[in-house]
Amino acid sequence: MQDSFASQKSLKSRLKSVLALLWPVKNLPSGEDGSGSEEGSDMASAGRAGLYALLIRLVNAAIAYVTQIIFARLLGEFEYGIFALGWVWIAILGHTTTFGFSMSAIRYLARYRTTGEIRLAAGFFRFSLIIPLLFSSLAAVLGVSLLNSGLIPIPDYYLLPLMLAAVCVPLFALQDMMESFARARHWVLLALIPTYLLRHALLGLFLVLAVVSGFAATATTALLVAFAAIGLSLAIQAVILTRRLSAERRALPAVTVPAYERCIWFKTSAPLALQDGASLLVSYSDILVLSFFVGPTEIGIYFAATRIAQIVGFVRFAASAGTANVFSKLNAEGKTDELKALSRATIRISFWLSVIACAGLAVAGPLLLKLFGAGFTSGYPVLLVLMAGLLLQAAFSSAEDLLNMTGHQGMTASSYFGALLVNLVLNLALIPYFGLLGAAVATSISIGFRVIYLAFGVRARLGISLFGAQFGR
C-alpha cells in the first residue's frame, strides 16, 4: 500500500515537472496540502526561464535569419564567405578566452547566493571579469600581430577582415560574461535579449546603414559593423546589469573585503575552458577545415546552412538557460530525486520540440536557403545532415549541464576532446571527396558520439539514466 502511494506521488511529481516546463504556472501546487514546495518552485522557475529562453531564441532565430539574408544579399557569396570565417574566429576566441569563467560563473554565483556567502560572490564577480579581459586582449594583440607579420600563409583577401575579427574578440568575451552573470541570477531576459536579439538586429541595421552611406559591401565593412554591434549591445547589457546588481547589493550587508578562492575557481574553470574550446572547435572545425580545401563562396553556402540548422539547437539552449543553475542549486541541497525528475522532464520537452523544428525545416529548407540567393540552395543536403546531429543532441540535452553543475566538468571536457578528434579525422577524410556534405556528416557523427558518451557518464557518476527519457520511460 505504501509502495503504491509512493509510486502515485512519484508519478504526480513527474507530471508536475513536465507541466512546469511546458507552462510555467506560478501557483502550481506541489505538496499534498496544495501549498507550493521548494521542488515546485524550482520546477516552475526552470520552466519560466526555459520558456522565456525558448521564445527569445525563436525570435532571435528570425532576426538572425533576416540578418544573415541581408549580409548574403548585400555582400554576395564570396564576401559573405570571408565574413563567415571571420565571425567563426570571433566566436571561437571570444568564448574560449573567458577561460571557463563564463560557465563556472553560473555554478558559483548560484551556489554563493544559496549559501549566503556574499564575500565570495563579490570576489568571484571581480576576478571573473579580470581573467577574460586579460586573455581576450592578449588573443586580439597576438592575432593582429601574426596576421600582420606575414608568417601565416593565407590569401590576401582574408588578412584585413581577420584582423578586424581579432579586434572584436575582447568585446565578445565580455558580453559572454555579462550573459553568464545574468543567467546566474535567473535574469533570463537580460541574459539573452542584448546578446542575441539586440546584437543581431544591430548587425543587420548597421550594415544596411553602412552600405547606404557609401561604404563598400565587403567583408571588411561587415566586420567593422560587427565591432559596432557587439560594442553597443554589450554597453547596454552592462549598464542594466550593473544597476540591478547595485540595487540588490544595497539590500544586503555591506561587503568591505571580497573573499577569493582563486585556486578552487581555476581548478573548476580550467577544464571548462578546455571543454569550451573543444566544443567550439567541434562546432566550427568543419568551417575551419573547409577553408583549406574550398574558397569563400563554398564557405558562405555551408555557413548559411548551419545558420538555419541552428534553429534546432535553440531548443536545447533554452532548456539549458532554464535549468543549468537549478541543477547546481538542487545538487548543493542534496535533492537527488528532484534533480533526476527535472533532468528527464527537460529532455522530453527538448527532444520533441526539436523533432517538430526538424520537420518544419525539412519542408521549408529549400525556400529558406533560396532567400540567401539562388546559389545557396545547393546547401540543402548539408542542412538535412546537420539537423540529424542536432536532433540526437537534443535527445540527451540535460547530460552536459548535469555533469558541469555537479562537479564532473572534467568528463564533459574529455567528451569534447574525443568528439573533436573524431570530427577532425572525419573532416580531413571526407571533405576532399565529398566537399560540403562530407563536412556535415563529420560534424553530425561527432555530435552523436559526444552526447551518448555524456549520457553514459551521467548514469555512471550520478546514477541518473537519460536513456528512454525522451519517451517517458
pLDDT digits (tens, 9 = 90+) for 396-418: 888 888 887 888 877 887 888 89
| Residue 5 located in a structural domain | no
User: Which range among 36-45, 136-145, 254-263, 382-391 shows the weakest confidence by mean pLDDT?
Assistant: 36-45
| Residue 393 located in a structural domain | yes
* Structural contact between residues 429 and 418, judged by C-beta atoms closer than 8 angstroms: no
| Residue 344 located in a structural domain | yes
What is the extent of the structural domain holding 156? Answer: 12-22+36-471
Residue 421: pLDDT band (50, 70, 90) is: very high
Of the two residues 167 and 35, the one the predictor is more confident about is: 167
Kindly state the percentage of the chain with pLDDT values over 90: 37
* Structural contact between residues 183 and 324, judged by C-beta atoms closer than 8 angstroms: yes
Residue 15: pLDDT band (50, 70, 90) is: very low
Residues 28-33, mean pLDDT to the nearest whole number:
37
Residue 437: pLDDT band (50, 70, 90) is: very high
| Residue 4 located in a structural domain | no
Query: Number of structural domains, the chain?
Result: 1
| Residue 115 located in a structural domain | yes
| Residue 31 located in a structural domain | no
Residue 335: pLDDT band (50, 70, 90) is: confident
Residue 297: pLDDT band (50, 70, 90) is: very high
Q: Among positive and negative, which fits the CA dihedral 187, 193, 194, 196? A: positive
| Residue 457 located in a structural domain | yes
Each residue of 325-339: b (16+ CB within 10 Å) or e? Answer: bbbbbbbeeebeebb
Residue with cell 568571484: 124
Rounded Cα gap, residues 470 and 453, in angstroms: 17
CA 435 to chain centre: 27
| Residue 28 located in a structural domain | no
Whether the predicted pLDDT of 52 surpasses 50: yes
Whether the predicted pLDDT of 12 surpasses 50: no
* Structural contact between residues 144 and 163, judged by C-beta atoms closer than 8 angstroms: yes
Task: Check residue 405 and give its pLDDT.
Answer: 80
